[in-house]
């Protein structure tokens, strides 16, 4: 099973020196990847459904991951997640295709639809149609990444007679779909290389597998997408027994959050976190 660190772009890790130290340590320790979170804006003052304090420092995912790419050699670079329908899909394709190009093919694009209406209102975007736009945006992005003469004709985005280089090294980079709604699991089956979610516990993984199985029974899965990866964020501190349970369930990747481990949010604490996660794969 693969291990990832989260979040590489938030709070203390938004400091460039510490971000670089943690990324380099993870790279050298053999950890597979680092992941970012995303909110372009957050409600101020804090108000439900948001749980992000307004003073939280959040470096933009592609900026943080490009910074990490520059100081590492093999570490994969993941968004966990980027709020796809809050962005123009052509810009996303260019932005993250460029990241994959410059990093030598290390991008993992995790996407979701978001849950805070005020974020969409502030960006001048409709909240209610974000699911339909996400489906379309995934298809448009892959068209720009892979087609010799990219063209797409949809409800929300249409283009032809254009091109965009560089292409990503991976053809195409993997897209992991987040969410636990029926629509999200349909999206996983129809468009995702895998599912990215809380998962949390072995029972949570089983619930997600049941939902994915139900969606697979209803919707066609393109052959080129192959098997569905499972990427989860455990809700408890990982030990070798829990890792073995997740591995037996077929989990591909565990994204290990810093806050669960109770380390002090300073350089020593973050480097101890890296060592702790690296030891799980030993």
The boundaries of the domain holding residue 136 are 37-224
Spatial neighbors of 244 by CB under 8 A, at least 6 apart, are none
Q: What confidence tier does 196 reach under pLDDT thresholds 50, 70, 90?
A: very high
b/e for 154-191, b at 16 or more Cβ within 10 A?
Answer: beebebeeeeeeebbbbebbbbbbbbeeeebbbbbbbb
pLDDT of residue 261: 86
pLDDT single digits (tens) 243-274: 999 999 999 999 999 988 889 999 999 999 99
Nearest to 127 by CA among 140, 138, 114: 114
Spatial neighbors of 52 by CB under 8 A, at least 6 apart, are 39, 42, 46, 58
Q: What confidence tier does 80 reach under pLDDT thresholds 50, 70, 90?
A: very high
Residue 235 lies in a domain: no
Q: What confidence tier does 282 reach under pLDDT thresholds 50, 70, 90?
A: confident
Residue 167 lies in a domain: yes
Instruction: Return the CATH number at 45.
Output: 3.20.20.30
Residue 81 lies in a domain: yes
Residue 215 lies in a domain: yes
pLDDT single digits (tens) 163-185: 999 999 999 999 999 999 999 99
Tell me the average pLDDT of the chain: 96
pLDDT of residue 184: 98
Spatial neighbors of 98 by CB under 8 A, at least 6 apart, are 166
Q: What is the DSSP letter of 10?
A: B
pLDDT of residue 7: 95
pLDDT greater than 90 at residue 79: yes
Residue 169 lies in a domain: yes
pLDDT of residue 257: 93
Residue 18 lies in a domain: no
- Reported pTM: 0.97
Residue 23 lies in a domain: no
pLDDT single digits (tens) 118-146: 999 999 999 999 999 999 999 999 999 99
Mean pLDDT value across residues 207-235:
96
Residue 55 lies in a domain: yes
Percent of the chain with pLDDT over 70: 100
Dist CA 243 CA 254 (whole Å): 9
pLDDT of residue 165: 97
Spatial neighbors of 135 by CB under 8 A, at least 6 apart, are 187, 190, 191
pLDDT greater than 90 at residue 238: yes
The number of domains in the chain is: 1
pLDDT of residue 262: 86
pLDDT of residue 215: 98
pLDDT of residue 259: 86
pLDDT of residue 235: 87
Q: How many CA atoms lie within 13 A of 61 on its CB side?
A: 26
pLDDT single digits (tens) 69-78: 999 999 999 9
Q: What confidence tier does 99 reach under pLDDT thresholds 50, 70, 90?
A: very high
DSSP conformation letters of 15-38: SHHHHHHHHHHHHHHT--EEEE--
Percent of the chain with pLDDT over 90: 96
């Amino acid at each position: 099973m693969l291990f990832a660190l989260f979040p590489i772009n938030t709070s203390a890790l938004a400091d460039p020196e510490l971000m670089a130290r943690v990324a380099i340590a993870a790279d050298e320790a053999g950890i597979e990847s680092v992941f970012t979170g995303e909110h372009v804006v957050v409600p101020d003052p804090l108000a439900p459904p948001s749980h992000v304090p307004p003073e939280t420092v959040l470096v933009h995912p592609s900026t943080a991951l490009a910074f990490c790419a520059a100081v590492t050699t093999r570490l994969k670079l993941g968004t966990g997640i980027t709020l796809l329908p809050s962005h123009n899909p052509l810009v996303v394709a260019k932005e993250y295709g460029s990241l994959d190009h410059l990093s030598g093919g290390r991008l993992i694009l995790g996407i979701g639809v978001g849950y805070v209406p005020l974020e969409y209102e502030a960006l001048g975007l409709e909240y209610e149609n974000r699911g339909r736009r996400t489906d379309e945006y995934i298809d448009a992005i892959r068209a720009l990444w892979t087609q010799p003469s990219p063209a797409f004709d949809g409800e929300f985005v249409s283009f032809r007679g254009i091109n965009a280089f560089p292409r990503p090294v991976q053809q195409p980079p993997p897209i992991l779909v987040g969410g636990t709604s029926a629509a999200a699991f349909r999206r996983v089956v129809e468009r995702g290389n895998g599912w990215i979610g809380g998962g949390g516990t072995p029972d949570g993984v089983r619930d997600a597998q049941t939902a994915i199985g139900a969606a697979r029974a209803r919707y066609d899965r393109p052959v080129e997408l192959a098997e569905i990866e499972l990427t989860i964020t455990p809700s408890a501190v990982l030990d070798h027994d829990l890792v073995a349970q997740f591995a037996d369930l077929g989990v591909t990747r565990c994204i290990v959050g810093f806050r669960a481990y109770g380390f002090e949010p300073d350089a020593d604490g973050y480097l101890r976190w890296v060592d702790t996660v690296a030891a799980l794969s030993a």
